[in-house]
Structure 1
Amino acid sequence: MTIPLSSYKLFHKLHPLSLLAQLSTRKVTGDLSVFTNLVSWSIYLEEGKLTYATYSDKVFERLESHFQRLNQQIPAFNHAAYAEMGLMSEANNNNQLIANADYYAICWLVKQEYITRAQAGMLIEELAKEVLESFICLKEGNYQLNAAHDLHELPKFCHLDLQSIVEHCQKQLNYRENSKPGIASNNNSQPQTQTENQLGEQYSKSRTISPAKQINHKNNQYSLSKEFYTIACIDDSQAVLNSIQHFLDEETFSVVMINEPVKALMQIIRSKPDLILLDVEMPNLDGYELCSLLRRHSLFKNTPIIMVTGRTGFIDKAKAKIVRSSGYLTKPFTRADLLKVVAKHIG
């Protein structure tokens, strides 16, 4: 999907994780340019994959430091080298660097065989981590998404997964934050929670409570406002559907199992569930798209929708936030995990 050049939005608050999630999910092709009063960022994408990222502060100092780790024979970055690489603009005889000179420099060094294409890809990945680490910390700014850009006709050396890069950046930021003086790291193991069997026993006992049923979890008691609930489960795996049905007591819950996501919308409308468990990765229609469709329907604007997935990275959570899901159930899950989610969202 390509966003037209006219797609431009000016705003004060910036949510980098949500923005990157949208670009990745929609498989955008283009250049995301982000501006603040001091610096600017450029993030280049093809079908939602990252091909290059840079920002305006100390561009060549950053590039040169990474180059020297790859190959000590790379020419020094100075005025003469810029001229030899064809990076100098002769317009108005001002001899300034051309736009995206850093990427042109990488292309030139590959062409001259100072570095290989594989090394260029590794270099771009390391630069992207550094660039996105600064980008995801932004709180305010303006952005513009350009479908056409100067790098469009240049060779591409990698197509990087945005989620992996962002997760790395988040870990680095968290590590530095926790390493600050005065912040104690928490290496102590947490107290053991109730076992699945213990929780199951408490849940079974709670079935006799009337008129309001209750579920206990981690010493917290959740009252259920109704005697009976309908839960819709959408998953292309019959094994997962069977597990959910097995884990939920049939005297309290009616489980509607749906394994064809394309037909899910009509089945959900018919059953009018109190809670929806929705697999993220399904053929033909992924969970995020289906969640977005459900939220547009008047019946399900406020129905709890839980994304069931093995992927819970920062990009995934941002995607879930965009489509207004209510929470996550991480695969593989136990009965205790499922009961905790059910109690939280219908209690």
Structure 2
Amino acid sequence: MRDPLPRTPVGLDGVVAAETVLSHVDGAAGRLIVRGHDLETLAGMPFEAVLALLWADLLPGSPDAAAIHTALGRARLRAFDLMLPRLAATEGLSPVEGLRLLLGALGDGEAEPHAVLAVAAVPVFVAGLTRRRAGQAPVAPDPARGLADDFLTMLRGAPAGAEAVEALETYLVTVADHGLNASTFAARVIASTEAGLFSAVIGALSALKGPLHGGAPGPVLDMLDAIGSEAAIGPWIDDALRRGERLMGFGHRIYRVRDPRADVLKGAVSRLRGAGNRIGFAESVEREALARLAAAKPLRPLDTNVEFYTALLLEALDLPRDLFTCIFAMGRMAGWTAHVLEQERSGRLIRPQSRYVGPMPAASVRGAA
């Protein structure tokens, strides 16, 4: 009997599972479009302005950047109040696990718009978790500050410099949305069941926790640690390629050319050069890696991806490596919430089919019935 289901590529490659106005990833051209804007044009905008763009027509009244700035400040205060009695419960958990637990405190009965509270809560929770781990008291939010500025202030206990705030804001904007990646798809599946926005974004965070999705920037720094010096770059890369090892921060599942986010973040990182960081060393590693990859794999385009300069930027901001996935979630929460709102409007349960490849019952058993 003919199988009625068409063959599905492993990993759903090439399968269209949703229609969206939010973002488009053109892997062949190395282009990321967010609501009609190329990423490069968004990179200098405040994070709140990008939220206004993503949430346009999805939140009541389509609030502008100024209104979102105000709403996020108020919501950070609410998140801080929710966090304080629950911080002790995060003892012994990793930062991602602690963030997941605290996000569970956001109940469906909250008066704040859920998308606003979800975005506002992440910087408050991550700063609080980090300070508790260091034996320091949490710092209350300042609702007058922008989200990136307030996060660094809550984390450090003192205002951050303008260059640091600008670099972090550029990062948050750059990773705000990126098509139907694993965590965003997970969020849309959960949203399609009408489980609620908080359930959907917690599911997205759980998907991001996996090392094949959100855990790559840390290993980039591990690679730089292993190389160690300028003189060792070439021999180390040659040896890694001979062993068939992957060079962290190079190549991407979607992009067949350079990841546009890498160029945006490289510009942000360049403004942080100095102060004892190793940006210059990493740029040397990038040059040698690209040259050797091109020679070793001429038919397989492997260019710099977003994780390479993410690692450098977050390290230059003195953020611990085990926070990197949480910082990624801080930016991507913008896209997750927008996709959840968009999916909820469709009112359609996501229910794909699977192909059964297991054994069939024996004919004699069926006949005996």
TM-score interval for Structure 1 and Structure 2 normalised by the shorter chain:
under 0.3
Higher alpha-carbon Rg: 1
The structure with higher relative contact order (CA 8 Å, sep 6+) is 2
Flag the structure with higher helix content.
2
Instruction: Identify, as 1 or 2, the structure richer in strand.
Output: 1
Scaled by the length of structure 1, the TM-score of the pair is: 0.25
